Amino acid sequence: MAAARRRYDAAAFVSDDPAIARFAQYLQLRRMSPKTSIAYQRDLESFGSFLKAGAAGAKDLDAHQPPPYDGLETATTGDVLRYVQRLNGSRAYAPRSLARKISALTTFYKFLRFEGRRSDNPAADIPRPRIGKALPKALSERDVNRVLDTRIAGLSEAQRLRDVAILECLYSSGIRRSELLGLDLGDVDLEERTLRVIGGKGNKDRIVPMTHAAAAAMHAYAGVRPRNAGPSFFVGRGGARLSESALYKIVKTYMAIAGIDAHATPHTLRHTAATHLYEHGADLLVIKEILGHESLATTQIYTKVARKRVSEQFDAAHPRDRRE
């Protein structure tokens, strides 16, 4: 029950294609994240549209032998290859997006083999684009303070205190935006300064500490939070659980007013929290537990972020380089 209420964004995207609808149920059983599941389903619908357009075009060229469109289940390796080549040719997709689309097809045909509807996987040998692993972007401590000190005119007291609590909570705890949106009143212990969150692979529970500043901000917001609201800690209009789009807008607005890079998002505060913890001496294993990473290798990327920041500050500050 607890995990189910956290899936605020799993609403229901149901494809008209029965094969995709069955696939969606399969992904849910595999506990794939709702966001990835929806992306996979839309990728399959895109491939289906490509197949239909190809069949219609061939029918126009040769009315005597139109290739039938029997659905996604009968696609060949040639179909998949032509689709990927079309996507590559359009130059509209980044390598990461292309790789995800191929992954969606590979997983779908693996599912059809599981169902006994196919004996092969036409997407299995399709080459995927190489993806360079970009380092996560983290704000400087100065920039974080600018964001946290920003105040927006025209907001009600409840909105102002809620926004401050959100920003403090994201930077303090490093929790994911979905985890923040999933917080209920009973998950927040202001005396112990802890949050009980459910997130990551398998929707596992973990207890995350927060700073005194975050606890104070959340306590101030709790005092003005609408009394008629539901169980969720952070609420929007009408007392309903705050939506992902509303959270994104709040963070982006504060970032923009503070003069922060336009690409900064709620997830940037998660990376920033982890980077600052490491820079100030926190053990990687501790950071791993706070962030809810499955593997320490995932957390180790913040050592590279910290080294990169040291190099940048060295180059900017050393008088020899500055003179040149």
Query: Which residues are annotated as catalytic?
Result: 176, 201, 267, 270, 293, 302
Q: Which residues contact 282 (CB under 8 A, 6 or more apart)?
A: none
Is residue 251 within 8 Å of 138, Cβ to Cβ?
Answer: no
Beta bridge partners of 195: 188, 208
Number of H helices, E strands in the chain: 15, 3
Q: What is the DSSP letter of 199?
A: E
As a whole number of Å, the end-to-end CA separation of the chain is 62
Q: Which of 284, 240, 244 is nearest to 265 (CA)?
A: 244
Euclidean distance between CA atoms 67 and 126, whole angstroms = 23
Q: For residue 125, is it left (φ>0), alpha (ψ between -120 and 50) or beta?
A: alpha
Euclidean distance between CA atoms 321 and 316, whole angstroms = 7
To which residue do tokens 């040719």 refer?
89
Euclidean distance between CA atoms 176 and 197, whole angstroms = 9
Radius of gyration of the chain (CA): 24
